[in-house]
């Protein structure tokens, strides 16, 4: 007689397999978000806090809940991968002739390795439980952080990012939507208390209130997602960040419990550790692609990264960098020309 596993036994088997594959955390969420989470998303978009990420309003309905994205889903498995740094993520902000890069982008682009792990888990689940499923890792309109909070993987801090008691602020997320009807785990409780460290640390005041962020003012958005010239009101706050920003994450007290990643692919490559601004702005498209091959930075393209580096030069106060900026006053890209002119005028 064939043995029938109950939901808890299936969950335990999935957790063990996920750990074997290399995920540091596995938790289970319901296939629907809460009314508050859906309302928060609607308000975020209605107030224009998504900036020029037009895919957010375009996909709002599908993003609002797993069931809206796939009507066959019955449970969501949320998986975490630790990319914790073994160095101070904001150590480079004082090196004015150098660039700061978010620690998640210093190593290999996480998308492919995590997607491969998700697919490996998915194949096993299909064989083991004869279920249907879909896997996601930044590849579809999924409310990753709210679902992770519902699963108990952590909670959304006052900076709106996920915080884990085991891994602090440093986890990549992936999801498996499945037709298996599994009992969800209990959500974690909010452990932020009265702390406002992340709010106080934001250089552009993008965290407008606890649990409220103006994405269009966030340095990560400005340096990675935003196309064209950057509003001058944000430029000085950007400091020397050229890709992402770790300031609100790095000050979180929960990071004192975080463990450095043991995955070599997420550890910094030499070319991503405080590169010289003068070298960044001298890159043409082929040399840019070669320098940042295999990292998330490559996806933003040469023009945006050079634009960001020029703003960092303008913020440096280093007159020796003026000539490097002046070289780009006639660049083919409008945003690069604009940033070059601003940098030259600042110096």
**Would you name the residues annotated as active-site residues?**
138
pLDDT at 55: 87
What is the Cα–Cα distance from 139 to 298, expressed in whole angstroms? 17
261: exposed, middle or buried (C-beta count within 10 Å: 0-12, 13-18, 19+)? buried
Contact by Cβ (8 Å): 98, 92: yes
Residues of the chain with pLDDT under 70: 1-5
What is the reported pTM? 0.94
In this prediction, residue 304 carries a pLDDT of 98
From residue 175, alpha-carbon distances to 22, 101, 117, 142, 317 in Å are 14, 26, 11, 9, 44
| pLDDT score of 138 | 86
Sign (positive/negative) of CA torsion 306, 223, 277, 82?
A: negative
In whole angstroms, how far apart are CA 64 and each of 136, 140, 153, 306?
A: 15, 12, 20, 35
Q: What integer pLDDT is reported at residue 140 of this predicted model?
A: 87
CA distances from 28 to 3, 10, 185 (A): 23, 11, 5
Closest CA to 343 of 222, 235, 234, 243: 235
> Which domains can be identified in the chain, with CATH numbers?
7-87+104-178 (3.40.109), 197-246+272-346 (no CATH)
Cβ 149 vs Cβ 30: under 8 Å: no
Q: What is the reported pLDDT for 21?
A: 98
Q: According to the model, what pLDDT value does residue 135 have?
A: 97
* Whole-number pLDDT of residue 1: 32
Burial class from Cβ neighbours inside 10 Å (0-12, 13-18, 19+) for residue 332 reads exposed
For 129-163, give one letter per residue: b (16+ CB within 10 A) or e.
Answer: bebebbbbbeeebbbbbbbbbbbbbbbbbbbbbbb
């Amino acid at each position: 007689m064939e043995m029938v596993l109950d939901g808890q036994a299936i969950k335990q088997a999935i957790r063990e397999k996920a750990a074997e594959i290399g995920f540091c955390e596995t938790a289970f969420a319901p296939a629907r978000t809460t009314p508050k989470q859906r309302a928060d998303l609607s308000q975020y978009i209605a107030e224009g806090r998504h900036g020029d990420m037009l895919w957010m309003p375009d996909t709002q309905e599908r993003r609002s809940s797993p069931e809206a994205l796939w009507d066959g889903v019955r449970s969501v498995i949320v998986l975490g991968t630790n990319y914790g740094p073994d160095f101070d993520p904001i150590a480079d902000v004082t090196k004015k002739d150098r660039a700061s890069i978010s620690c998640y982008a210093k190593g290999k682009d996480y998308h492919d390795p995590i997607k491969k792990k998700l697919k490996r888990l998915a194949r096993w689940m299909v064989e083991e439980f004869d279920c249907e499923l879909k896997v996601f890792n930044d590849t579809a309109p999924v409310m990753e952080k709210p679902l992770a909070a519902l699963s108990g993987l952590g909670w959304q801090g006052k900076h709106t990012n996920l915080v884990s008691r085991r891994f602090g602020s440093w986890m990549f997320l992936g999801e498996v939507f499945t037709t298996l009807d599994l009992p969800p785990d209990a959500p974690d409780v909010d452990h932020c208390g009265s702390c406002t460290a992340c709010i106080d640390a934001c250089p552009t005041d993008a965290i407008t209130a606890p649990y409220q962020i103006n994405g269009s003012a966030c340095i990560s958005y400005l340096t990675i997602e935003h196309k064209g010239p950057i509003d001058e009101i944000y430029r000085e706050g950007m400091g020397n960040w050229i890709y992402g920003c770790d300031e609100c994450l790095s000050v979180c007290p929960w990071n004192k419990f975080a463990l450095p990643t043991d995955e070599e692919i997420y550890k910094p490559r030499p070319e991503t550790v405080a590169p010289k601004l003068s070298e960044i702005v001298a890159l043409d498209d082929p040399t840019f692609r070669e320098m940042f091959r295999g990292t998330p930075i490559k996806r933003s393209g040469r023009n945006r990264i050079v634009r960001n580096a020029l703003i960092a030069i303008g913020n440096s106060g280093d007159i020796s960098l003026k000539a490097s900026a002046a070289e780009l006053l006639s660049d083919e890209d409008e945003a690069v020309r604009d940033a070059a002119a601003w940098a030259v005028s600042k110096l």
